[in-house]
Amino acid sequence: MRRFSQAIVVVSLILFVASCAVKRPYMIDQEPKLKPSEGKALINFVRPSGNAAVQKATIWDRNRLIAVSFGMQGFQYECDPGKHLIISWSAYKSPVEAELLPNRVYYIVLEARAGFMRPRIHQIPVNPQHSLWEKALKWKRTLPNRTFDERQLEIEEANSRAKIMQYLEYYETEVVGTKHVLYLRPEDGVPME
DSSP string, 38-51: TT-EEEEEEE---T
How many distinct structural domains can be found in the chain? 1
Is residue 105 within 8 Å of residue 35, measured between CB atoms?
Answer: yes
Give the separation between CA 139 and CA 133, rounded to whole angstroms. Answer: 10
**pLDDT tens-digit readout, 29-83:** 888 999 999 999 999 999 997 665 567 889 999 999 999 888 889 999 999 999 9
151 is a domain residue: yes
12 is a domain residue: no
18 is a domain residue: no
**What pLDDT does residue 62 have?**
96
Q: The domain containing residue 50 runs over which residues?
A: 25-191
Give the separation between CA 42 and CA 106, rounded to whole angstroms. Answer: 6
The average pLDDT across 90-112 equals 94
Is residue 89 within 8 Å of residue 159, measured between CB atoms?
Answer: no
2 is a domain residue: no
39 is a domain residue: yes
**What pLDDT does residue 54 have?**
66
Q: Which residues pair with 183 in a beta bridge?
A: 97
